[in-house]
Amino acid sequence: MKAIVYTTNAGSTEQYAKLLAQKTGLPVYSLVEAKRTLSAGAEIVYLGWIMASTVKGYADAAKRYRICAVCAVGMGRTGTQVDVVRKKNAIPQQIPLFTLQGNFDVEKLHGMYRFMMQMMVKFAGKGLSDKQNRTPGEDDMLDMMLHGGNRVCIENLQAVLDWYKNC
């Protein structure tokens, strides 16, 4: 493997990419930097942020590089939504896919994504707050929507690090 490549919007994915780089010794590049630095066909680990189950930047990276694993960063708990994300992005079964819970702060989002998430918080947050018998995951999601939250941590990367050690 040559590098870790990422696309970020509010910083969580970049934080995970840098943590992964520290633990693996691989160089880390944003997708824009990678296009200037890495040759086409290079083997990479790709990290992208999730928006409506789409891993941002994945399709572009998959056209240019040989992706060995994908880490998708979103609001959901680490290890959840794997099947939905894999299907929505057409990530082949032989490529390991890891979902990681990131941070959430509407104020750090840019452009239309801020507006979209403000609407999502307004409507989905209301639905979750009114729901009886929420799951722990739903409680966590509601807490993040209402108060923001910092969920980036090395523990969330454990499955990725285990995979890397064994590949």
Tokens 């969920």 map to which residue?
151
- Residues with Cβ within 8 Å of residue 57, at least 6 apart in sequence: 6, 7, 31, 46, 48
Paired residues of 69 in beta bridges: 45
Enter the pTM of the model.
0.83
- Residue-wise pLDDT tens for the chain (167 aa)? 999 999 998 899 999 999 999 999 999 999 999 999 999 999 999 999 998 899 999 999 999 999 999 999 998 889 999 999 999 999 999 999 999 999 877 777 777 777 777 777 777 777 878 889 998 888 877 777 777 778 899 999 999 999 999 98
pLDDT value of residue 140: 77
pLDDT value of residue 65: 98
Q: What is the H or E stretch that residue 68 is in?
A: strand 66-74
Distances (CA, A) of 9 to 70, 120, 123: 17, 17, 22
